[in-house]
Amino acid sequence: MFEKTVVDENYVRIPREKLFNFVVEIFKRLDVPEEDAKIVADNLIMADMRGIESHGVQRLKRYVDGIKVGAVNVHPNIKVVKESPVFAVLDGDEALGQVVGYKGMKMAIEKAKKVGVGIVGVRNSNHYGIAGYYSYMAAKEDLVGVSMTTSRPLVAHTGAMEKFMGTSPISVAAPVEGSRPFLLDMATSVVPSGKIEVYRRKNKPVPGDWAISTETGEIIHDPNEILSPKGTILPLGGLGEISGGHKGYGLGAIVDILAGILNGATWSKHVGGTSDKHSDVGHFFMAIDPGAFGDKEEFKKNMRKFMEELKNAKKHPKFERIWVHGEKGFLTYEAREKLGVPIYKKVLDEMNAIADELGVQKLP
Amino acid sequence: MFEKTVVDENYVRIPREKLFNFVVEIFKRLDVPEEDAKIVADNLIMADMRGIESHGVQRLKRYVDGIKVGAVNVHPNIKVVKESPVFAVLDGDEALGQVVGYKGMKMAIEKAKKVGVGIVGVRNSNHYGIAGYYSYMAAKEDLVGVSMTTSRPLVAHTGAMEKFMGTSPISVAAPVEGSRPFLLDMATSVVPSGKIEVYRRKNKPVPGDWAISTETGEIIHDPNEILSPKGTILPLGGLGEISGGHKGYGLGAIVDILAGILNGATWSKHVGGTSDKHSDVGHFFMAIDPGAFGDKEEFKKNMRKFMEELKNAKKHPKFERIWVHGEKGFLTYEAREKLGVPIYKKVLDEMNAIADELGVQKLP
């Protein structure tokens, strides 16, 4: 088994189905239509199932708060602003990001199936959960999927010393013959903020040079400081240009351009959080049909060869094995289908407090 | 002036025009049609003009050798394998990569102008010079441009200890109101191999943790060792996962998928160099029309705001200023238009030896 049955004493395991129904109920009580509630629940729980706890149900409270303060519109009128056979631009009307995101990637997939390529840009949305949820939707349909989103400012670009850019993730997925898809899902910052939250919870310094002080510019390791206004995360590649920090900065800028500016959405430091009115988060979805560019089965076969070759390359003695992207997440998913999803007890308490308030049956 | 008149005593400055005509003559003597020779010369010299010396005329010998050994086809029959209004796949027939690349991006641009998006994949090509040459072609036409290429194996992916993946660059360009375009052009490795060649030439250790030994897996700094079979470059993010090395690895894999496998080209360790028969390099070109997705002038205006905001962010005390992508290259270009292109003397000698052999007038 890929995963130990007991994570540690701070976690309880909840069966996937039970957790899913619980989250759906919460959103329904907040007047979210059932169909939409299921999309959001599926997105959040997929994050937990794949081991991306930072983007899972521990964020439930943020979404609930966003709806409660009226920053998130649960009855959006999602408008198609522009559309052609190959692309579309959607106005999310401040919906839950997952709801617009699901619709956007679905449209991109339909277009790709018809004309080989589909691109859908979104403006006026909210946090859409894990980027990989959408690219994976495409891969399940034997398409290459791309998903990007702007996000609220947490990162200092090269030469800067403030929370300015988002951790703006990029995800790409592609089908593989006889196997789980390739699935890259990465923040363009050196780490996503959720990874720092994990160290804050454990009350431990972060192990890498991931952040700087917004006052001195020095590298800092205290997760509390990093997540406060006194700290800011670095782009992929770190501080300065010596290890390519300007590249992570550039990748973040690409996301601001393609997911934000291109679609009439805002960018970097103007992007709001889930409880902000008009957070104006933008997304970019693309699907490409390998069957249009060439032979689909040949593509999938070559993807399998590529993945196998990567895994069978000459191994570094300090590493146990070589992974391909998505593999760890799928193995974690499969283990958690059997064992249940580990939920941090404090998160469970918070979720049950929400349930109490909304009249939903608490989790065990 | 952005650049000093004299670089150092190892360089001589040659006017752009003179260098261009020289390179065109060389290729013409090798039976490359004049039009194609001009494309290759423009690409190589743009690299030098923008300060990317590693991809400039110092590579002339490689291309010449590739043609001489018959690995590069100077009279290619570039075939359109697949085509629709939105995409195309080209077979480069082992042409000079610049010749196929120029054609590919031109087709993508034409498609984007008609239907909003254009994607052109290429297989069976060769090294295409700087990736930014092609994305910039799109930006000059007020489009967003994307350019990627596979490249010969020089990089050890996370957990591996051999030259396995390419330094596979990604370039994205976008027009900016009243200013030079945004132009990101980055290897997905921590540094491109050309940067290590610069340290080898200076006989100095590389300043960052950019490479490992293929025998022990330890970090090495000797540029000779790194460029020999005993060394291999690391992906962006460095060794292991602590600083996101798996992300650079993932970005490299995306290039192998989109520029390689999608187009029926080969990938990573199978990609050949310029003197290899059937190097089967693959490219990916995309152009997107912001005027189709929304208002073109609004897009360019917001791009300008974004660039200005980035540059005016709170500055880190250890940095002189904050740059946006492409800016350094454009300033260098403008300086070199006045001052001439600095050419390393040994490179000039090599170029003149080629000229001698082919009966082309030597450079001063």
Query: Could you tell me what percentage of chain A is helix, strand and coil, using 3-state DSSP and rounding each to the nearest 5?
Result: 45, 20, 40
Given an 8 Å threshold on Cβ–Cβ distance, is A242 in contact with B208? yes
Pairing state between β B87-91 and B117-125: parallel
Selected for mutation to probe chain A from B81, B221, B232, B310 (highest A CB count within 10 Å) is B310
**What are the C-alpha distances in Å from A31 to residues A21, A25, A72, B79, B113?**
15, 10, 12, 57, 44
3-state secondary structure of A276: coil
Residues A135-194 pLDDT 10s: 999 999 999 999 999 999 999 999 999 999 999 999 999 999 999 999 999 999 999 998
Q: Give burial (CB, 10 Å; 0-12/13-18/19+) of A81.
A: middle
Chain A residues with beta carbon closer than 8 angstroms to that of B246: 186, 323, 325
Chain A residues with beta carbon closer than 8 angstroms to that of B254: 172, 184
Given an 8 Å threshold on Cβ–Cβ distance, is B303 in contact with A82? no
Q: How far B214 CA sits from the closest chain A CA (Å)?
A: 8
Angle at alpha carbon of residue A238, lines to A233 and A239, rounded to 5° = 90
Residues B117-160 pLDDT 10s: 999 999 999 999 999 999 999 999 999 999 999 999 999 999 99
Do residues B39 and B102 touch, judged by C-beta distance below 8 A? yes
Among chain B residues, the shortest Cα distance to A319 is held by B159
Which domains are assigned to chain B? 11-309+324-358 (3.30.1370.60)
Pairing state between β A144-149 and A117-125: unpaired
Q: How confident is the model at residue B4 (pLDDT cuts 50, 70, 90)?
A: confident
Average pLDDT of the residues in A12-16: 95
Query: Could you tell me what percentage of chain B is helix, strand and coil, using 3-state DSSP and rounding each to the nearest 5?
Result: 45, 20, 35
SS (H, E, C) B146-186: EEEECCCCCECCCCECCCCECCCEEEEEEEECCEEEEEEEE
Average pLDDT of the residues in B259-281: 96
Residues B165-217 pLDDT 10s: 999 999 999 999 999 999 999 999 999 998 999 899 889 999 999 999 999 99
Chain A residues with beta carbon closer than 8 angstroms to that of B132: none
Phi, psi for residue B323 in degrees, rounded to 5: -100, 155
Question: Which among B214, B247, B257 has the least Cβ separation from residue A174?
Answer: B257
Among chain A residues, the shortest Cα distance to B320 is held by A159
pLDDT higher for B112 or B53? B112
Chain A residues with beta carbon closer than 8 angstroms to that of B294: 81-82, 89, 262-264
Q: Residue B198: its pLDDT value, please?
A: 85
- pLDDT higher than threshold 90 for residue A4: no
B183, B154, B149: which is closest to B169 by C-alpha?
A: B149
Selected for mutation to probe chain B from A90, A91, A113, A117 (highest B CB count within 10 Å) is A117
Selected for mutation to probe chain A from B162, B297, B306 (highest A CB count within 10 Å) is B306
- pLDDT higher than threshold 90 for residue B89: yes
- pLDDT higher than threshold 80 for residue A7: no
Average pLDDT of the residues in A266-281: 95
- pLDDT higher than threshold 80 for residue B290: yes
Chain B residues with beta carbon closer than 8 angstroms to that of A257: 144, 172, 174, 182, 303, 306
- pLDDT higher than threshold 80 for residue B6: no
Q: How confident is the model at residue A359 (pLDDT cuts 50, 70, 90)?
A: very high
Q: Give burial (CB, 10 Å; 0-12/13-18/19+) of A203.
A: exposed
Q: Residue A6: its pLDDT value, please?
A: 66
Q: How far A82 CA sits from the closest chain B CA (Å)?
A: 7
Give me the residues paired with residue B288 across strands: B117, B144
Structural tokens at position B254: 């995306």
Rounded distance, CA B303 to CA B143, Å?
12
B65, B66, B73: which is closest to B32 by C-alpha?
A: B73
Average pLDDT of the residues in B217-242: 98
- State yes or no: ipTM above 0.95: yes
Selected for mutation to probe chain A from B52, B214, B293, B325 (highest A CB count within 10 Å) is B293
Q: Residue B5: its pLDDT value, please?
A: 67
Q: How far A9 CA sits from the closest chain B CA (Å)?
A: 26
Q: Largest alpha-carbon pair distance within chain B?
A: 56
Q: How far A191 CA sits from the closest chain B CA (Å)?
A: 7
What integer best gives the mean pLDDT of chain B?
96
Residues A26-71 pLDDT 10s: 999 999 999 999 999 999 999 999 999 889 999 999 999 999 999 9
pLDDT higher for A342 or A4? A342
Given an 8 Å threshold on Cβ–Cβ distance, is B164 in contact with A310? yes
Q: What percent of chain A has pLDDT over 70?
A: 99
Q: Residue A5: its pLDDT value, please?
A: 67
Among chain A residues, the shortest Cα distance to B118 is held by A117
How many C-beta atoms lie closer than 10 Å to residue A22's C-beta? 22
Question: Which among A288, A313, A317 has the least Cβ separation from residue B162?
Answer: A313
A117, A153, A151: which is closest to A131 by C-alpha?
A: A151
Query: How would you list the strands of the sheet with A231-233, edge to edge?
Result: A219-220, A211-213, A231-233
Question: Which among A162, A208, A299 has the least Cβ separation from residue B243?
Answer: A208
B55, B139, B167: which is closest to B326 by C-alpha?
A: B139
- pLDDT higher than threshold 60 for residue A310: yes
Rounded distance, CA B357 to CA A216, Å?
59
Structural tokens at position B188: 């997905």
